[in-house]
Structure 1
Amino acid sequence: MCPVRSGRDGEEPWQRALRHVAARSRGAPVDPALRITLNFHPDRLVGGTPILAALAADGTYVSQFVTGTSNGGLTAYPGGDRWRWESRIFGGAYDAAPAHLRPVYGALNVRRSPVGAAPRFGSAHLRLTGAAVSRATFCYPDSHLEPTAFAVADRMSLIELAAADWPDRLDDYIEAQVHQPVRLDGDVEALVLDPSYRGTDVEAAAARLPCPLEWHHGFHLTVAELRRHPGYRGRKYVELGAELAADDRLTPRVIGDAARTGRYDGQDLKKVWHYLARFGAPR
């Protein structure tokens, strides 16, 4: 495990953050076989650049404080909700820190799901090494819900807490905040993609990354099944999903293609993705 310095002088922001969260944590060490996954959409653009090309150029996975993009709420700026949540969780450790030093967000894959621990945030995921778990902090539920239960790798009581809860399947994850830069050439066991991207520019870009490429069994949702759940996110998004469907079904690639046209509201497409992630996940 990665030790947290007990002294105050010379501590880096990440060390102060881990120390602060560790003091509020309890429980036994986490199973060393568990991994953190960082779910994301692999065909989106970051500042006009395809996200996998940006990852290849930079070599690190960075937070929305750096990218200015998010698959959840975009509130990563001084005084914004994400800034305020981090200040509260980490005891102000990052309040004055540059954006590139802030943690990135994922989830602990306690169910060992092949699509990652938090598909709400995307069909692809980076599976991090076991060493990355040792420099992560955790909370349940998601940090935007102002949680009071926290953990570090050496003191992990959140798994039992989450198991006793009955959230929506897309909310069933233990949030992880990974401190220090996440490097693709040392911190990532694999990039795992949806098979709808086979033979596409996404696969070609993934092959240029300095980490192994794997595939899961794929998200897909027929229009007939989509129409069975109008109350989940709303009939508006059911109709949008039906409009976008190719060959009478939704896949991650279909939604990504729609996102890059600029013709659709990003929040609307996010709700369509929620339908696919919730009702079209591989079994």
Structure 2
Amino acid sequence: MTVVTTSPAPAPVPVPGPVAAVRRRKVTPRRRATEVLLAALAVVVFVCSVFPVYWMLQSSFLPTNKIRATEPTFFPGADFTLRNYETVILNHDRAQFLPAMQNSLVVTFLTLVIAVVVAFLASVALGRYRFRGRRSFLVAVLIVQMIPGEAMLLTYFRMVDGWHLLNTIAGLTVLYVAAVLPFTIWTLRGFVAAVPAELEEAAMIDGCSRSRAFWKVTFPLLAPGLVSTGVFAFIQAWNEFVLALVIMSRPESMTLPVWLRTFQQATKATDYGALMAGSILVSIPVIVFFLIVQGRMTGGLVAGAVKG
């Protein structure tokens, strides 16, 4: 009987793939120096961006004489005080903080809701339908966006005064919506154009109506765009100063950016400690809003990808 022996098959020779080649790639001194230089540049940019915020925060806990001192104070230490925040919130010698906060919140919320709703409808019409004058409308929106608001202050004032809306929330909201709409329309139009119309058509083939297909398939994909646009609209309306200064001249109708201006007076020295404390309080709602919306933006991106 003949015994047939089979030798084991030779092991396959590993072929160096792109990943292995990248791992074996030597880091040259020039490449290492470039990475270190870019890292150092990133740190410098980060410090330059964060330091003004830190300086404003730590100055809000210092007395005015320490802020005005020639030797800078980088940490409050024993000079730590909350008197600046007490002056901002409880002092009644100037325009009060809480009414100004209320005015800013109401105007910003109304501007955000109205601008996002109107811009969403306009962007859907511009991105999904073809009609006469569509291109002219887009060009007009772009031209309006390029015109500085300061060039139309007199026109705004005469218009709002003619409507008897000076020093009112409604009058300032109308101007804010008009100022925010061009940007929101252009931004949302890009999000709408990026969503394929075939998704709605496929849902309609499966039995959905046009409106149901839009709300169940397309809208979840547009939700992150709505949130992103809403963030910019919120920041623009919250920080606006010139229009509020012209339209809201009474102390009880001031918004927060105009209210901060009351700390600088011609007959008195500027209370820099209270000014820094007021600036911190003004920035808190924007930070809180962004932190809340950031999670919703990420959730909207994931939900839209799954449903799409």
The structure number with the bigger radius of gyration is 2
User: Which has a greater percent of helix?
Assistant: 2
> Which structure would you say has the larger RCO, counting Cα contacts within 8 Å and 6 or more residues apart?
2
Structure number with the higher strand fraction is 1
The TM-score by the shorter chain falls in which range?
under 0.3
TM-score, structure 2 normalization: 0.19
